[in-house]
Amino acid sequence: MQSVRQWVVVLVVALLAGCGLGTPTHSAGPSAGDGRSASAPRAVGGDDVVYGVVPDLWAGRRLGSAEAVRRRLPYLERLGVDVLWLWPPPQRRQAGEEYAVTSFTALDESWGSPGDLRRLVDAAHARGMRVIVDVVVNHTSRRHPWFRRADSPRDPTWDYYERDAAGRPDHYFDWRHLPNLDLDHPDVRARIVGALRHWVTAYDVDGFRFDVAWGPHRRSPTFWPEVVASLRALEPDLFLLAEATGRARWVPRDGFDAGYDWRGGLGRWAWRGIWGGRTGARLGSLLRERTPAPLFRFVDNNDTGRRFADRHGLAQARRAAVVELTVPGVPTIFAGQELGIAYEPYGAGEDPPAFTDRGLLGLYRRLVRLRGRLPALQGPDLRVLRARGGQLAYLRPGDRPVVVVVHFGGARPLRLPAGARRLLGADPRVLAGRAGIAGDSVRVGPRGYAVLAARAAGAAGDRSALAPPRRGAAHAVPCRRADRQPLG
């Protein structure tokens, strides 16, 4: 029986991919023809920085989330970010809940009208930004029409949900209000595929961040490959982010572009717990790792609770920003991180803080600009030069090599090996932070940082001074903005 169901699913998904049909119950959205506007920007690349929006910080409850974000596009453009991650999910949700969806296709009223959302996406595209939306496919709310109709095994949607032997719906953790869907059910799978295609064709979005992506993989190994295949058939350049560790081999194998920088368990940030001591040594160990998928790097996100700058202080937040934005992977800035403001995303609209800079914005703008204009920061290669106690230094190789030095603690200054200094050529530039350069010596003082590069491409010195760099901790997603040039 299971094999018959899987063949039915394959047939339905193939038909959807061929004709572009969505779920038969979706709400009407703005017409977009084939869904992709001529102004849609290119695919996400290694130079890109993602920005997670929290509309409630920008008067979203008064203006509507889409309009609130649209009004902030000039600010985001000045910051230099390339991809907007719309949070919370724009799917219709249970009131007061971010991930309890009651429709996979209807737009939640907090985001305004369908026209409002389309205007936001079009305005972002006009500024060269892409837009990805947070979506739920693992479960529904108990208030979803499918669940409310499923009173007994005789009801057609009863089998839409996974159940135990007593007929009780399955769920993860204490999420009793979020029953898991049976993703092997052909109707369920076809409707989800249709819903995702609807967001692309109706709103011209450029990708998705899939909430609880690890759940469908556990329960239905064929689910993601078929979903991804259908989406790629519609639009090959969609950016597909899995909320699952990028250290899992199934993430790239199933077609995702990146996975989270988790290590040691679900939701466990790889950099968690390293900030109290020996930070340089611990980060160096992590940066030496090879991972199957590009890592979605973060310091803050929607699930990290109290903000990093509030927990660890502004000085440590500066050093963390330098590392996040200069290592391989896909870095994200989550709303207000670039300012150091204190809040928690869930319930941010109840008492939103002032969206004002506490002294980090200039550094973030500089780091984002460097990542966009230095090819060495966009590739997958990294070599750790020093990782001892609170001291960290690493090389990003290329025609114009970049060396990043971060001193997290300790009384002694950090001095680069002479070989590393020679890689930067006769007259290296300090592009961010401070460093003393004299002859073959580069010195960064306690709790300081510096980003250094050769003055121009091809000006680097003896590259044989160090062994060839090993493959870095993540692989860049191809494509980069053609109009960006290296700093002079």
DSSP for 370-429 reads HHHH-GGGTSSB-EEEEEETTEEEEEE-SSS-EEEEEE-S-SSPEE--HHHHHTT-SS-E
pLDDT of residue 2: 42
Does 146 fall in a domain? yes
Tokens 């800035």 correspond to 333
Q: Of all helices (H) and strands (E), which one includes residue 133? A: strand 130-135
Question: What 3-state class would DSSP assign to 258?
Answer: strand
For 287, what's the count of Cα atoms within 13 Å in the CB-facing half-sphere?
A: 26
pLDDT of residue 423: 87
Examine the fold and report which residue of 319, 345, 377 is the final residue of a domain before the chain moves on.
Answer: 377
pLDDT of residue 448: 97
Does 470 fall in a domain? no
Provide the percentage of residues in the chain whose pLDDT is more than 90: 78
Comparing 11 with 201, the larger pLDDT belongs to: 201
Q: Are residues 48 and 172 in the same domain?
A: yes
Q: Are residues 195 and 274 in the same domain?
A: yes
Does 399 fall in a domain? yes
Examine the fold and report which residue of 338, 357, 377 is the final residue of a domain before the chain moves on.
Answer: 377
d(CA 253, CA 152): 38
pLDDT for 4 beyond 60 = no
- Contacts of residue 408, defined as CB under 8 A and 6 or more positions apart, other chains included, come to 275, 279, 280, 316, 319, 390, 391, 392, 447
pLDDT of residue 456: 76
The 10s digit of each residue's pLDDT in 135-162 is: 999 999 999 999 999 999 999 999 999 9
d(CA 195, CA 24): 9
Task: Tell which phi-psi region holds residue 259, choosing left (phi > 0), alpha (psi between -120 and 50) or beta.
Answer: beta
Q: Are residues 334 and 198 in the same domain?
A: yes
Examine the fold and report which residue of 325, 346, 377 is the final residue of a domain before the chain moves on.
Answer: 377
Does 483 fall in a domain? no
Does 468 fall in a domain? no
pLDDT of residue 42: 62
pLDDT for 28 beyond 70 = no
pLDDT for 82 beyond 60 = yes
Q: Are residues 242 and 391 in the same domain?
A: no
Q: Are residues 368 and 438 in the same domain?
A: no
pLDDT of residue 334: 98
d(CA 245, CA 264): 9
pLDDT for 408 beyond 70 = yes
Q: Are residues 299 and 391 in the same domain?
A: no
d(CA 430, CA 437): 9
- Tell me the DSSP string of 76-122: HHHHT--EEEE-S--B-B-TT-SS-BS-SSSBPGGG--HHHHHHHHH
Q: Are residues 389 and 373 in the same domain?
A: no
Question: Residue 37 — pLDDT band, cuts 50, 70, 90?
Answer: low
Q: Are residues 274 and 367 in the same domain?
A: yes
Does 223 fall in a domain? yes
pLDDT for 3 beyond 70 = no
Q: Compute the residue count for the chain.
A: 488
pLDDT of residue 440: 83
pLDDT for 383 beyond 50 = yes
pLDDT for 302 beyond 70 = yes
Q: Of all helices (H) and strands (E), which one includes residue 437? A: strand 436-438
Question: What 3-state class would DSSP assign to 309?
Answer: helix
Question: Residue 24 — pLDDT band, cuts 50, 70, 90?
Answer: very low
Q: Name the least confident of 62-71, 246-255, 326-335, 425-434.
A: 425-434
pLDDT of residue 477: 42
pLDDT of residue 44: 74
Q: Are residues 307 and 450 in the same domain?
A: no
CATH of residue 301? 3.20.20.80
- Contacts of residue 385, defined as CB under 8 A and 6 or more positions apart, other chains included, come to 393, 394, 395, 403, 416, 417, 420, 466
What's this model's pTM, rounded to 2 decimal places?
0.87
Does 224 fall in a domain? yes
- Contacts of residue 352, defined as CB under 8 A and 6 or more positions apart, other chains included, come to 56, 57, 343
- Tell me the DSSP string of 189-256: HHHHHHHHHHHHHHH---EEEETTTHHHHHH-TTHHHHHHHHHHHH-TT-EEEEEEETTSTHHHHTT-
pLDDT of residue 46: 75
CATH of residue 392? 2.60.40.1180
Q: Are residues 333 and 366 in the same domain?
A: yes
Phi then psi for residue 467, to 5 deg, are: -65, 155
Comparing 174 with 420, the larger pLDDT belongs to: 174
pLDDT for 406 beyond 80 = yes
Q: Are residues 353 and 451 in the same domain?
A: no
Q: Name the least confident of 221-225, 240-244, 255-259, 350-354.
A: 350-354
Domain that holds residue 400: 383-462
d(CA 26, CA 13): 17
Q: Are residues 373 and 449 in the same domain?
A: no
Average pLDDT, the chain: 88
The 10s digit of each residue's pLDDT in 244-269 is: 999 999 999 999 999 999 999 999 99
pLDDT for 465 beyond 90 = no
For the ranges 38-47, 187-196, 347-356, the maximum mean pLDDT occurs at 187-196
Q: Name the least confident of 123-137, 263-277, 418-432.
A: 418-432
Question: What 3-state class would DSSP assign to 134?
Answer: strand
- CA torsion through residues 23, 27, 32, 36, sign: negative
Looking at the structure of the chain, the number of domains it has is 2
Q: Name the least confident of 18-32, 67-81, 125-139, 352-366.
A: 18-32
pLDDT for 14 beyond 70 = no
Does 284 fall in a domain? yes
Comparing 303 with 350, the larger pLDDT belongs to: 303
